[in-house]
Every structure is written in C-alpha cells, then in structure tokens.
Amino acid sequence: MELKVYQIDGSESAKTVTLNDNVFNVEPNDHAIWLDIKNILANRRQGTHDTLEKSTISGSTRKLKRQKGTGGARAGSIKSPTIRGGATVFGPHPRDYGFKLNKKVKRLARFSALTYKAKENKIIVLEDFAFDAPKTKAFVEILKHFNLEDTKTLLLANNSNTNVYLSSRNLKRSKVIRACDVNTYDVLNATNLIICEKSIPEIEKMLGE
C-alpha cells in the first residue's frame, strides 16, 4: 500500500511511502486482537485491592448477647460478617492479574490492528518533525491542519521526539507513544493513526522480527 507523506501544515509533500503488506495488509484475526487487548488491560491493573476478614478486622470479641432465650439466632463477635460493619467474606486480596501470551499471538494482533486502520484509510504519514520546547499549542495546530483536533488520535513518533510527547500529554483525545511501543489497544482505541515517516521502517522491523 502506497501513502502520501504530509507536512505538518497539512499540505502534501512530493514524497510517498510504501507500507509493508506483511504488517499493514494481513488477514485480520479478531480472536488474537481480543486476547492481546485482554492481556494489555490485565497487566495495567494494579491489583492492590484488599478487604478485611474476621481475623484482621478490629473489634471486640465480647459475646453480644446470651446464647439462648432471646428468640433469635446465636450471635458471637461483633466482627461477624452477618453484622453491619463486620468483616467481609471471600473479599478480594492483592493479586497479579497478568497472564502469559505467546509472542506470535501478540504480533498477529498488532498486524491485525494496523491492517484495520489501513483498510479504513485512517493512517496519516507525517514528515518527521520536532519541537525545540514542549508547546501544546503547536501540537494542536498540527491536528487542526488535518481536522483532528476533536478526534481521538495516536501519534507514533521516533525516540527523539521527547518534546512532542510532552506537548500532547495534557490533551484528552491525543496520545503520543514511541514507535517501538506500538500496541494493539492504543491503535484500536484511536480513531486516526498518525505515523512519523521514520517510524514506519522501525515498526516494520520490530514487528517483523
């Protein structure tokens, strides 16, 4: 697939790039996408939730009432789970939600995600650029040239674009990540995908290994 390369002012340049069909034009596998996204979101969970059980909750162990003659059920400690403010039964405890996923499945999922964006014509190739200092206004101007200021966008930049990342991090609908960190969730979570020109061979080399 051949795409035009655009300048940051929204105009077309004289250059074109050819996307590798082995990365951007494969047979999409929806199940691989589901597994990879499930794996990504699971690994992002902190898993620090915890609840107090009867042995860890604080409270008196004094018997609340006599055993017989009250007409009600027997009641012991105030820490009992059946009493309001008591302990929790089978509550969650700290755990790791991550699980292992084969590298080939992850790679196939990324291929599929990039293929969907290519087939939907949602990929814009941008000439390499950099900012001298972080400036959100300059980044928004670039999005406006492509009418993407109100659209969820993902920019895949090279490793040297630190100021570009800093210029976009407080925008809710835009995200900048390094090309080497491309993943299925971020690609599909964005409506449009912007790729810097030098990032394309980096993506193709990384996913082709």
pLDDT, tens only, 165-207:
899 988 999 999 998 899 999 999 999 999 998 889 888 888 8
- Is residue 188 situated within a structural domain? yes
Q: What is the largest CA-CA distance in the chain?
A: 94
Per-residue pLDDT, 100: 94
Same domain? For 77 and 110 the reply is no
Same domain? For 184 and 148 the reply is yes
Q: What domain count does the chain have?
A: 2
Compute φ and ψ for 174, nearest 5 degrees.
-125, 145
- What's the pLDDT tens digit per position in 91-137? 999 999 999 999 999 999 999 999 999 999 999 999 988 888 999 99
Structure tokens at 136: 């959100």
Question: What is the rounded CA–CA span in Å between residue 88 and residue 92?
Answer: 9
Boundaries of domain holding 78: 57-91
- Is residue 37 situated within a structural domain? yes
- Is residue 108 situated within a structural domain? yes
Same domain? For 75 and 173 the reply is no
Q: Which helix (H) or strand (E) holds 204?
A: helix 199-208
Confidence band (pLDDT; 50, 70, 90) for 209? low
- Is residue 163 situated within a structural domain? yes
Same domain? For 84 and 102 the reply is no
181 DSSP 8-state letter? G
CATH classification of the domain holding 30: 3.40.1370.10
**This prediction's pTM:** 0.82
Residue 159 has pLDDT above 80, yes or no: no
Same domain? For 62 and 6 the reply is no
Same domain? For 108 and 150 the reply is yes
Same domain? For 11 and 42 the reply is yes
Neighbours of 139 (CB within 10 A): 25
Same domain? For 34 and 123 the reply is yes
- Is residue 51 situated within a structural domain? no
